[in-house]
Amino acid sequence: AQSVTQLDSQVPVFEEAPVELRCNYSSSVSVYLFWYVQYPNQGLQLLLKYLSGSTLVKGINGFEAEFNKSQTSFHLRKPSVHISDTAEYFCAVSVWMDSSYKLIFGSGTRLLVRP
């Protein structure tokens, strides 16, 4: 069965510090990988996605993620965070099963940026 694991439920970090949010997935088939961000009381919006090609993917707001097939990981990074990055971040995989693609989410990581 496919699954997505986000090991950290909450990551506190000081403003302008670097951050890494971890994501591991399990799948025996090819997947597409996504990171979504949810600001308070809002829906989810796409940060970045990996489909194929270069394993380093750049997204919006200065975020990037690296796909590592051997470690089945897709960690999200930002070299210098801002207060406005405080939000919940979801890793997701899109896998083909039961005649359709399904988007499977991790449990989320709450990024708390402190001044």
Binding site for another protein (CB under 8 A): 4, 6, 9, 32, 34, 36, 41-46, 49, 51, 90, 94, 96, 98-108
Long-range contacts of 48-53 (CB under 8 A, 24+ apart): 48/76, 50/74
Any idea which residue has 């829906």 for tokens? 43
- Residue 45 beta carbon to another protein: minimum distance, rounded to whole angstroms: 7
Among residues 40 and 115, whose Cβ is nearest to another protein?
Answer: 40
- Residue 32 beta carbon to another protein: minimum distance, rounded to whole angstroms: 5
Round to whole Å and give the CA distance between 15 and 17: 5
- Residue 17 beta carbon to another protein: minimum distance, rounded to whole angstroms: 25
